[in-house]
Structure 1
Amino acid sequence: MIWKLSLTGIKSRFKDYLVLFSGLVISSTIFYMFLSLALNPAFLRKNMSFSISITQYIFIFGAILLGIITVAYVNFANNFLLSMRKKDYGTYLMLGAKSRKIGNLIFSETLITGFLSTIVGILLGILVSHVVTDMLLNLIQIKISSYSSFVFNAVLYTVLFYIAIFFLAAIFNRIKLTKTPVIKLLKEEQSPVTITKKKFLRIVFAILGIGLLATGYSLLLKKDIDLKIIVASFFTITFGSYFFFKASLGMAIDFLRLRHQILYKKLHSFTLGQLKFRIEEYTQILAAISIFFALALGAITVGMRFESYKNQYASTTYYDAVVQKETVKTTRLLKEIKGKTTTRYNFKETSKVLYFNQSSFKKTPLVNLVFDEKAVSSQSDAIEHMKTVKLTAKKNEIAQMTQLLQEFLQTDKKIQFVSNSEYQKLTGKVKQVQLIRTKDMRANYSNLKELNEEQTDSSQGLAPLRPVAYQMVIGLVSGFEFMGFFLGVAFLAMLASTLMFKVLTGAKKDQIRYQMLSKLGFRDKQIKGAINQEVGILFFLPAVLGLCHVLFGLKLFERIVIKPYQDFWIPFTIFLLLYLIYYFATIKLYQSIALKKVK
């Protein structure tokens, strides 16, 4: 009978459970995807061009971060569900149910909810990971081979992690509800809210919050940043956010309430009053959301900026391909490459030496790219400051030209530059090397890559060519791009849901207040407008502060990514649109709860 009543209660709040369920499914899906990549050695060895251990660390690190946020998410969501079910559980106890039975019911409900969401998340992860990975890696031009979307160890660790979280949550729920008096379970929504009225403390907290934020931001603006500064800035910004929301917003609301032209317009008096007593209750959650908002947006932004490495590292070399062997395939590929410029050098080969005509380099210099040390101001922008050097086989250029030609020709033979008359007298097999450069290397990348593979002797190493550098850096940045994007999406889904749960927790308590407004003659449209304003403020205040955290926090990544602020509007717009979806969903759910008796 109790199970039947419980299922009826869950069914009546299906929309609320669906919000929790969807957030958990997104979390477990992405968690599984990260582990499936980290624990899939065959895929990593064949598709990533850098050490498998480093790649594993990237995705394991992402899974750990996701796990930390998931713990916080489950905690807030669990509190929300408890607040909704307390009256139901109190009713069961009033009807004669034993507290032990209710405790077991609570334990089972929590564990089953977590288990089902985890299983659905894993199944969804198995189904979509292959498609999503294929789409993403096609964008970064990596071909998938030996990739299996089902990885047993990833399934096992995902189940163990999420079941462990919900097992602890289930124990907490059982202890908390079985020790709560029945009268409190039935009447908790009628409990008064305590508001701090000590103005001196609020002023101190406001100064402390602004001071800590300013200190944290100033630390991030330093040129020389080390681990101590990063840790110090994190703690100052975190506690600064807490004190800011604890005091500054309350003072701002008091200031607005003194402005009669604002206070008595529409339902502003009611909205400011609602916010007045909610700010105390929301201090911790708003501060946490602002920090995690910054982490989520920062993860997507930094992940997208790793794309810049592809072109930047490719620009450290000048030529795109070297052709020595004329084959049918080579001829076909050369015809398909568009916008190319070809430089040809003839040479004579003996058993130990390659002889080049020095005069041919005067007509068509060999081009090399080198770092412009005078232009480089920091380690972060060294790649951007390259200068073109034209080599004509002068004495001071011989060593540089020799090294380049040996790498292009993949030979250890000695190279000599001789005059035209000496070259004509030499005996030896006449050969030719073609150096190819295109206007758009990325557009011709597949053909250039195939051409270089056709011409390259893998046992001799890699030549300094743009597609080679591009191919090498693809493996490095792909892991960070993948992790940053999906980590940001997972953070957003869970954190926006967390704030949604917190806002909806008070919806039941607000029913009587909105019922009173309706009886006073206010129209539904006006009441809904007040709800939109109140929820909007609670949603976008941490978003604004979180955006400030991101704008200063991106300074940390100047040594990791190139121009972290470039095209910032793209991830910000995507992120804001997703955030708005959660905002409108919260409004609809809030209205369905708070205005239920008004309609």
Structure 2
Amino acid sequence: MSLLDLTVRNVKRNFRLYSIYLFSMITGVIIQFTFSSLMFNEDIMNALQNRANFQTGVAISSVVVFVFIIFFILYANSFFMKQRKKEFGMYLLYGLSERQITMMVFYETLIISTISLFTGVLLGGLLSKLFGMLLLRLMQYEQVISLSFPVEAIASTAGLFFLLAVIISVQSYIMVNRVQLMELFHAKQKSEKPVRISVLMAMLSLLLLVMAFALISSGKGSVYWQDYSKWSLISVTIGIIGGTYLFFRQFAGWLLQRLSRSRTYHEGNTVLWTSSLRFQIRGNTLNLTFISLFSAAIMMLMCFMTINYKVQFDAVGRNLPNDLAFQSLDNETNTRIDGIIKSSKHEVTFHLTQEGLGVSPVTDLHAIVENPEYYTADILLVSEHTYNELVAMRGDGESVELSGDEAVGLAQGSDFPKVYASDNRPDFVVKTDTEMVFKLAEIKDYAYLGWASDPVTSMLYKPAVLVISDDAYVQLSGKSSVVRKSFEIYGLSNARNADALSKEIHAIVTQTPDAYYSSFADVYSKQIESSSLMLFASGFLALIAVFALASIIYFKQLREATDEKLQYSILRKIGVDSQQMKTVIRKQLLFVFLPPLLLGVTYSWFIIKYYILDSVQGYSGLTGMVWGIMGVYFLIYLLLYLSSSKLYYKIVSENP
């Protein structure tokens, strides 16, 4: 019998063991092919405004997904190799070399990869239309997607999975070559040893977790993160990782130890489900720690990307509040531009010509904005009347009332807007021919002009703006050292699709060096397309991550249930019925499933709440959306728990 014949027979005989492996490979091919095919679908390319950015994003997403698939498949292969050590020992005993066993594994991988590639490409091609429509729907484009099987996508997917087959073979060779023959035969007879429990280490785990949660909940505006951000980050990292590890290594063991010393320990079935757990702590610690942190990462990824997508539609409007705005030029050019705009397909809803005064700040810009490097070095002073006129056109209720030396700083995107008490207003000094002091009444998260933009490079810089009272404006406008600046501000219908108009106007305005220009359309398509792609990619990454997590749990329960078949056989012989066995299994697995889920949800909620939601408080419905994502994850985890309990019972019920 040749190695190939032996390989085919072996796959058929171990089909149950390989079914989850095969399914995971098919899932990997579907996702990899889907991302690859997106880059070569002409219907999608024709609908996009920024093809190059999209192709780059898809390529990066494909690499990230494939790297994730590699690690997952290598983990699965490692599990299979450990399960088959006795089988490999028999092959070595019969005279096969490590090289021949590796070739057999390589043939197996090729067979599975071929089946996965054919099935995955077929299903991926059929689903690519649905995925493409979903992606364009996220981008709010109405484009018909045709069914396609791009040759380039098939070739790249096949090449990557052939590379994966080679990597798996190298891993298998290393694993087979590193163990001895007697170890292969006795691989499954090694039993876990109980961990030595330290009350001090158990309490340390809780202390580390409390420290991490306290630092996170202090918020990024606290002194810990403002003045000691590096050490706070290190402390949180140590607290979460170290605390989680010690929680499962020591605290869980201490809790089980306390249960074993209770008076009711031998009543009911407590002794049955706790006894095996005490011996599994050593082997489960890393898995449970990984599951907790991995669960938190999955939920944070989906929450962050969904929030990012959700706020982009409003955020672009906040960053660039004017549909079209540019610095006034000469009368002839202004009239020409006005004619182009009015002759376009975008109806003009309003047009304002507004004036401001350019002055130099004496006070550091940090007093009114958080990131001065994004702003112009000079300050634009806008009168209360001028500012309120534009706010009324926008209809967003951000008007101000000022008198005397009062001023309002505009810091769009600020995480820390402020309203100062009348007796505690900081000074802000500007310089004309003399210095003039203003009292800051408020730092407002709002934009008057918004980012200067470019149709190619998007956002460039922000004009620094200070709104002052009408009286102060009149007083300053008479000084010879101030620079008067006028701006043409337009409101347009369907501004999000004004890309072509923006390019035409931008080409005219930028003929004047350093002239300010801003267009909503320059940023909208780029932001929405990029955020939609990130949400789309993260959704698939989360999907395969959840599947990988489910597989890890499946592999772990499969191994532990197989190892405990003899113990459960003995329980049946001494009179433990099926219902009691199911109850024992559920309690035992609940102790394994519930703590990682609770820790993962808690980690993700604290980080999302205090470092994302608190920064986007002006957007409604985000908190409910976050809890919805966590609820879906909880439901998936519940299904994993129920299916694992059923699988565990099925395995231990078989004759050993």
TM-score (norm 2): 0.67
Offset of residue 29 of structure 1: 2.7
Aligned: 1:242 with 2:245 = yes
3-state secondary structure, aligned to 1:106: helix
Q: 1:219 to 1:130 in 2, by over 3 A?
A: farther
Counterpart of 1:275, as a letter, is: L
Judge conservation of contact 2:202–2:246 (CA < 8 Å) in 1: yes
Gaps of 5+ in 1: 335-341, 348-360, 409-434, 437-444
- 2:52 maps to which residue? 52
- 2:24 maps to which residue? 23
Aligned: 1:206 with 2:202 = yes
Q: 1:252 to 1:404 in 2, by over 3 A?
A: farther
Q: 1:375 to 1:80 in 2, by over 3 A?
A: same
Offset of residue 583 of structure 1: 3.0
1:379 corresponds to which of 409, 414, 422: 414
Counterpart of 1:176, as a letter, is: M
Quick check: which one's strand share is greater? 2
Offset of residue 386 of structure 1: 4.5
3-state secondary structure, aligned to 2:654: coil
Q: 1:137 to 1:582 in 2, by over 3 A?
A: farther
- 1:528 maps to which residue? 582
Judge conservation of contact 2:319–2:413 (CA < 8 Å) in 1: no
Judge conservation of contact 2:106–2:165 (CA < 8 Å) in 1: no
1:260 corresponds to which of 263, 286, 296: 263
- 1:138 maps to which residue? 137
Q: 1:7 to 1:453 in 2, by over 3 A?
A: closer
Q: Cα deviation per residue 1:265-293 (whole Å; 9 max; x = unaligned)?
A: 54221111111111110111111121211
Judge conservation of contact 1:286–1:542 (CA < 8 Å) in 2: yes
Q: 1:346 to 1:156 in 2, by over 3 A?
A: closer
Q: 1:570 to 1:381 in 2, by over 3 A?
A: farther
Judge conservation of contact 1:45–1:52 (CA < 8 Å) in 2: no
- 1:486 maps to which residue? 540
Structure-2 separation of matches of 1:580 and 1:211: 29
Offset of residue 580 of structure 1: 3.0
Offset of residue 571 of structure 1: 0.9
By relative contact order (CA 8 Å, sep 6+), the higher-ranking structure is 1
Counterpart of 1:206, as a letter, is: A
- 1:271 maps to which residue? 273
1:572 corresponds to which of 612, 624, 630: 630
Counterpart of 2:655, as a letter, is: K
Deviates more, 1:369-378 or 1:296-305: 369-378
Q: Cα deviation per residue 1:69-108 (whole Å; 9 max; x = unaligned)?
A: 3343223312221233233334445566566543432343
- 2:116 maps to which residue? 117
Offset of residue 128 of structure 1: 1.7
Quick check: which one's helix share is greater? 1
- 1:293 maps to which residue? 295
Offset of residue 380 of structure 1: 4.0
Judge conservation of contact 1:66–1:491 (CA < 8 Å) in 2: no
Q: 1:377 to 1:96 in 2, by over 3 A?
A: same
Structure-2 separation of matches of 1:188 and 1:24: 27
- Counterparts of 1:314-353 in structure 2, within 5 Å, are 314=317
Counterpart of 2:585, as a letter, is: I
Structure-2 separation of matches of 1:294 and 1:33: 26
- 2:34 maps to which residue? 33
Judge conservation of contact 1:304–1:484 (CA < 8 Å) in 2: no
3-state secondary structure, aligned to 1:193: coil
Counterpart of 2:191, as a letter, is: P
Offset of residue 570 of structure 1: 1.2
Gaps of 5+ in 2: 326-337, 354-387, 401-407, 418-442, 450-466, 478-482, 508-516
Counterpart of 1:403, as a letter, is: F
Offset of residue 572 of structure 1: 1.1
Question: How many pairs does the alignment contain?
Answer: 528
Structure-1 separation of matches of 2:414 and 2:344: 42
Structure-1 separation of matches of 2:319 and 2:73: 47
3-state secondary structure, aligned to 2:487: helix
1:459 corresponds to which of 492, 500, 504: 504
Q: Cα deviation per residue 1:280-308 (whole Å; 9 max; x = unaligned)?
A: 10111111121211111111111211212
Counterpart of 2:593, as a letter, is: F
Offset of residue 514 of structure 1: 0.8
Structure-2 separation of matches of 1:63 and 1:381: 37
Counterpart of 2:116, as a letter, is: S
Q: 1:258 to 1:61 in 2, by over 3 A?
A: farther
- 1:515 maps to which residue? 569
TM-score (norm 1): 0.72
Offset of residue 204 of structure 1: 4.8
RMSD: 4.7
3-state secondary structure, aligned to 1:403: strand
- 1:440 maps to which residue? none
Q: Cα deviation per residue 1:44-72 (whole Å; 9 max; x = unaligned)?
A: 8654555834x455444444443443343
Q: Cα deviation per residue 1:484-534 (whole Å; 9 max; x = unaligned)?
A: 222211211112211221221122111101101111111112212222222
- 2:190 maps to which residue? 191
- 1:583 maps to which residue? 641
Judge conservation of contact 1:76–1:502 (CA < 8 Å) in 2: no
- 1:14 maps to which residue? 15
- Counterparts of 1:57-456 in structure 2, within 5 Å, are 58-93=57-92, 101-118=100-117, 120-144=119-143, 150=149, 154-177=153-176, 180-197=179-196, 199=197, 202-220=198-216, 221-223=219-221, 224=225, 233-234=236-237, 236-261=239-264, 263-306=265-308, 307-314=310-317, 366-367=393-394, 379-380=414-415, 385-386=445-446, 403-405=487-489, 407-408=490-491
Judge conservation of contact 2:319–2:447 (CA < 8 Å) in 1: no
3-state secondary structure, aligned to 1:567: helix
Offset of residue 479 of structure 1: 1.9
Q: 1:320 to 1:237 in 2, by over 3 A?
A: same
3-state secondary structure, aligned to 1:547: helix
Offset of residue 157 of structure 1: 4.7
Deviates more, 1:567-576 or 1:546-555: 546-555
Q: 1:489 to 1:179 in 2, by over 3 A?
A: closer
- 2:359 maps to which residue? none
Q: 1:137 to 1:378 in 2, by over 3 A?
A: closer
Offset of residue 119 of structure 1: 5.0
Structure-1 separation of matches of 2:399 and 2:79: 58
Judge conservation of contact 1:492–1:579 (CA < 8 Å) in 2: no
Judge conservation of contact 2:126–2:147 (CA < 8 Å) in 1: no
Structure-1 separation of matches of 2:484 and 2:445: 19
Q: Cα deviation per residue 1:458-490 (whole Å; 9 max; x = unaligned)?
A: 512599898887555422321221122222112
Structure-2 separation of matches of 1:346 and 1:163: 62
Judge conservation of contact 1:294–1:549 (CA < 8 Å) in 2: yes
Structure-2 separation of matches of 1:149 and 1:539: 42
- 1:423 maps to which residue? none
Structure-2 separation of matches of 1:89 and 1:243: 36
Structure-2 separation of matches of 1:228 and 1:145: 52
